[in-house]
Structure 1
Amino acid sequence: MTIRFDGQVAIVTGAGNGLGRSHALALAERGARVVINDLGASRDGSGASSEAAMEVVALIEKNGGEAMAHGANVANFAEVEDMVAQAMAKWGRVDILINNAGILRDKTFAKMTLDDFKLVLDVHLMGSVNCCKAVWEIMRQQNYGRIVMTTSSSGMYGNFGQSNYGAAKMAVLGLMNTLVLEGAKNNIRVNALSPTAGTRMTEDLMPKEMLDLLTPEAVTAGALLLCHKDSPTRQILCAGAGGYASTRLFETDGIFLAADQQTPEEIAAQWDAVNDTSKQQNLESGSKQTEKFLTKAMSQLKS
């Protein structure tokens, strides 16, 4: 199987540098027309410049592809709407959205200002929300859409000094989980990419010999898998240095306690059973947890 995107239109946010640039170039190389979104800010979100985005557009056009640049700040819904409107006016559809734009404001929680916490959430979480909202009805009308969130091991597992970034990156998985359910009937598939790459976001965190292994192109291979026509849905694909793995949220089968046993002491007494992973499940939706607990309760009432 050869993965192609001929005739499709993709929006890649934060596409002027790093991972977004790599994603955009690869999509264009495989036939997509690409909107290169980049505010042109530094990695802490300050400043703005269209230079990087225009350079990517020029490179795509030089190689025979089609692209346009747009400097929307993803945290500003009106600017995102304008970007999508321009893409629709130029090409008439939007098939793919890769939510990649991001900033860092790393500090321990004790030292972090609430402004820095909120700014990171605005870009990573609300930026993803804004972009999804702006293309959602288009994808519903087309009965086709592929959306890729960008999550992080910092969100799924925690990382010192990144409470704001980690909170935002875990939140986009909650957004993904619900959009998967709501988009299914209109052939909208939503996945998440958890990248490890040597970009300007990570350049001062690792030695050069390690960064050289963490190429953006290795991560992009995973991104393309998650947004093609036969892509999976509700997958969290982790990618870095040529390694690929998936992450899942599992819930143990758990225990049942009758009304006269429902005390913290009894839960503590059965803590090993609460944490027994032998029958754990990957639940399809939040309602499946309620269904599981009610099934346990009803079976006890009948016995």
Structure 2
Amino acid sequence: MMNIQFSSEVAAAQAQARPIVALESTIITHGMPYPRNVETAKLVEQDIRDAGATPATIAVLEGQLHIGLEPEQLEALGQAKDVAKVSRADIAACMATGGTGATTVAATMIAAHLAGLSVFATGGIGGVHKGAETSFDISADLPELASTPVNVVAAGAKAILDIPKTLEFLETNGVPVIAFGQDAFPAFWSAQSDLPAPLRMDTAADIARAFVTRRSMGLPGGQLIANPIPKDAEIPAEVLAPIIAQAQSEADAQGITAKAVTPFLLQRIFELTEGRSLEANIALVRNNAKLAAQIAQELIAQ
């Protein structure tokens, strides 16, 4: 029988019915090198505390599902080698075999829901990859949003993806896509895209009420809250477009496919922007954490 391990901080927050925000762990193990990864994770956790909620970084450690990590566990995960990147398809196998795994958006949603958490902050969701009409490469994050009742606060979908097809998939599967404070769908490293957002809301209270209303109607799935990166941290879309195109062309030329595509593209974009993409990524994750904390507070008040 599955046993969930709660950190002392998360257990105390649950006992006192305080707001909690889930965080993924792939950004720690697969997003940036040590010690920057641990430093960033600690900053994001502190942002959530400062905004009035409790952070719960989620990971599988030696077969055990952890909701919230103690400081020494976070440090160890940040230095661990060959950590699995787990999603819906493989999180149970990782646990059953005593493995250690970092959770993607989909796996974090599953774990958060199991733990009774309704709000999750991340950087950007996965989506429909370019060329998916022949490769069928669609992230498990999208069907998870359609089935698991968690609010996911992200800066849109990763800009390397086919954003129009990603939005179409979400619409077809009944996922509310809510842009926070603007009419355009944000484009991850850039605050604006040329695509209109399906929905707009300007307050955390409205987002929380929409989630509660969906739940009361028996509608499945969660909500995607697309929170634009702060203007002072963004890389304009017109600057990024040729860089993304070059990285994609190199991936195609080298025959890089499937799960290897995203890490390759993100690394090349980091190199081609001389590190600006990583700084923007950190800024947007921190910004999402703050909004997620506000939504979690509003849900407690509903």
TM-score normalised over the length of structure 1: 0.40
Higher relative contact order (CA 8 A, sep 6+): 2
Work out which of the two has the higher radius of gyration on C-alpha atoms and give 1 or 2.
1
TM-score, normalised to structure 2's length? Answer: 0.40
